[in-house]
Structure 1
């Protein structure tokens, strides 16, 4: 393990977030069950256009103003989980983890409801369906999430009307159907390392996004410096961990910013293994203020582009956070859990993929023991021709050239 890395048990899970509806406001939780898809109910619903193309904050920034509320179960056992109203620790939002909700296993199967709230809108109540309605051939359709067509079940006309009223464009709400959405093989370790088929729901690509507090603090520090130098009259105040929409936030007194860039395999509480698939390349979404739904013209993207273009496979994109896949499911991830780094390698991650369905990563860029890019192997020296080859080639050339010359000489001097 690198000398600048914390010892085992010194890294802890300091924050957990679930985003029930893709691209809408997130919920801060104390714990959440880990399912085959990721954290329970994370990105379990999605909003689409009428032609079933995903709709996100990239195109409609006010989606961040849709606040999901989960009511899981019934009666005294009902678990209520509500969306954030401000960044943790700011504006009085200093709720201790012990007071936060916990998302149980098979949350959807327990029954309950998803409730959507938005400014100047009545609540939209979406009851959880019987599991049988989410199985194949139960009215499912395919929603396009980037290059994937993901199976979902339409949540109906009332939801569509509510979304159109708030967003100002026709839209529909879908819940994830019980079909497998595979992960890209180039970013996924061997199937034998998993207890289940690696998959996710409506997330962009991967089931988990992990980010360290040290990295967020580094971003905030750089934003503060740019405020002093560039944005004196209009300082940037909207940047926090919430801009980057992580599921897992980790911290350690010894952890340097961006140390997570080099992680390959981690473990939770020495028991539950997780693999780091790739870096997360960032789009324009972090520039949207998650609590007002208003895009900033430049930040934090402009700052990130000055120092986080770190992936050779994505030279023109800033990277923040690491995409993660859990080796097993059926366990609970909690704030306060310890994290162990099982393996890491400096500079190994690459957007072209390093896993390719193998047990161990296969680096796209080979590096030396110090993490520096290793020079390519020298080209083999060309073989020197042997004496036999030289004589054979010379003879062939002479056999082609001499007969015509000899014939011309005979004709000219009439020697025969």
Structure 2
């Protein structure tokens, strides 16, 4: 017969001492002061809003794409109005992408400037290559900076960097013209997931996040433009964007080490020097190729760090068609993957393939002052594998939607090897305002033939 166990305080003390002296116990004792420090610091984890400024964009949690997967957007409609008097062909959503390949800022109203949407692709990350590290066959004798995008290996993580644009607001209670935030014409705040690190550090960070003692994101801010009295702190440096090499401001001094760790995780291998560039407005890239010329517009179109043209328009019905074809691999294919500025609803899928000119006009406009803006539809958007990256997770799909697109959307005689989705555009004026709900009217259709990007000095016959 088994005897009942008896409690001995002496035995309890001995067992407790043994537990504390074990490796696990020692680790827990070491962790305790760190957790206490985390608790003390967590109150200041969220940065204060930039002084004298207001944030651009929709409130957090709001989006005009909240119903983007509704089947009603799969079909085209007439060019008339719906039962609420709204145009059936209209602007559904607007996006500016301040940092090339990073998250977008969604807008209800967008200012269009000479380079496209205000703040769009005005920043980019770049790595420094030395000639022996270069992945290109071009002969280079000096180190050079090359822009990084979602196309580049572990840089799919760029999708998780979330910028906020804050602009000076004289109505703000703390506004003053001599504030640094005002003198730099605003601030960009950049949020990114907190890197976990390795070993015990990784465990502590994950524990702190799980216990809500640590925020999931870290942040830092940069001036929207170099302040006049600190211009020398942002040296102009050439940066390679495709076959162009514009001069841009080097913002590398602002990058925290934790961001470098996030973009170059331990399993990414040897990392190269990384920096952030800001477009130098005196070195915009002129756009030729399929774009209308100065003789027609009165100005030559320009861009910042965009791939090619100032504006990118996407028809939601076309995205629905692609989504239906790759639903097995990607059950919910978001419009956001294709990183357009203007999302339109109403036209049937791929109707935009033959647009040459459209008119964007405020809804209900009747006066000549609201006549709208004519937009030249320069060419189709050639697709690479960038949309394979899920903007919500930063995870790259091995083949979709690129494989599906190439199976039936290689339609342009100028580039028969790549698929097309969306249209590249050039406004007929350098500045205007566009709003969600604006009417989209078709002025002209015709054929397109894509002209590939040229090296400096190359000429296409007849262009």
Distance in structure 2 (CA, Å) of the matches to 1:108 and 1:197? 31
Query: Which residue does 1:245 correspond to in 2?
Result: 339
Query: Which residue does 2:376 correspond to in 1?
Result: 275
Aligned mate of 1:201, from 277, 283, 304: 304
Local SS of the residue matching 2:392: coil
Would the aligned equivalents of 1:72 and 1:110 in 2 still touch at CA under 8 Å? no
1:52-91 aligned at under 5 Å gives the runs 52-59=145-152, 60-74=155-169, 76-77=171-172
Would the aligned equivalents of 1:160 and 1:173 in 2 still touch at CA under 8 Å? no
- For the pair 1:302 / 2:394, whether they are aligned, the reply is no
**CA deviation digits over 1:259-301, x for unaligned, max 9?**
0010111111142111111111111111111111111111111
Query: Which residue does 1:117 correspond to in 2?
Result: 191
Aligned mate of 2:349, from 239, 254, 257: 257
RMSD: 2.8
Distance in structure 2 (CA, Å) of the matches to 1:310 and 1:27? 31
Aligned mate of 1:181, from 279, 284, 300: 284
Query: Which residue does 2:109 correspond to in 1?
Result: 31
Distance in structure 1 (CA, Å) of the matches to 2:293 and 2:109? 28
How many residues are treated as equivalent by the alignment?
Answer: 312
Would the aligned equivalents of 2:77 and 2:89 in 1 still touch at CA under 8 Å? no
Q: Greater Rg, structure 1 or structure 2?
A: 1
Q: CA deviation at 1:76?
A: 4.3
Change beyond 3 A, Cα 1:137–1:110: closer
Distance in structure 2 (CA, Å) of the matches to 1:258 and 1:218? 9
Would the aligned equivalents of 2:100 and 2:123 in 1 still touch at CA under 8 Å? yes
Distance in structure 2 (CA, Å) of the matches to 1:150 and 1:162? 28
Q: CA deviation at 1:238?
A: 4.9
Q: CA deviation at 1:195?
A: 4.7
Query: Which residue does 2:387 correspond to in 1?
Result: 286
Distance in structure 1 (CA, Å) of the matches to 2:279 and 2:433? 21
Change beyond 3 A, Cα 1:287–1:363: farther
TM-score by length of 2: 0.62
Local SS of the residue matching 1:69: strand
1:317-396 aligned at under 5 Å gives the runs 317-345=418-446, 348-352=447-451
Query: Which residue does 2:123 correspond to in 1?
Result: 45
Q: Which runs of 5+ in 1 are unaligned?
A: 79-106, 228-234, 354-361, 365-416
Query: Which residue does 1:400 correspond to in 2?
Result: none
Local SS of the residue matching 1:61: helix
Would the aligned equivalents of 1:276 and 1:325 in 2 still touch at CA under 8 Å? yes
1:214-233 aligned at under 5 Å gives the runs 214-224=317-327, 227=328
Aligned mate of 2:246, from 150, 160, 164: 150
Q: Which runs of 5+ in 2 are unaligned?
A: 1-75, 81-86, 129-143, 174-180, 195-216, 265-270, 362-370, 453-460
Would the aligned equivalents of 1:134 and 1:178 in 2 still touch at CA under 8 Å? no
Q: CA deviation at 1:48?
A: 0.5
Change beyond 3 A, Cα 1:133–1:265: farther
Would the aligned equivalents of 1:41 and 1:108 in 2 still touch at CA under 8 Å? no
Would the aligned equivalents of 2:323 and 2:330 in 1 still touch at CA under 8 Å? no
Aligned mate of 2:330, from 222, 228, 236: 236
Q: Which moved more, 1:20-29 or 1:152-161?
A: 152-161
- For the pair 1:213 / 2:316, whether they are aligned, the reply is yes
Would the aligned equivalents of 1:289 and 1:295 in 2 still touch at CA under 8 Å? yes
Would the aligned equivalents of 2:159 and 2:393 in 1 still touch at CA under 8 Å? yes
**CA deviation digits over 1:191-216, x for unaligned, max 9?**
13325331011001111110111111
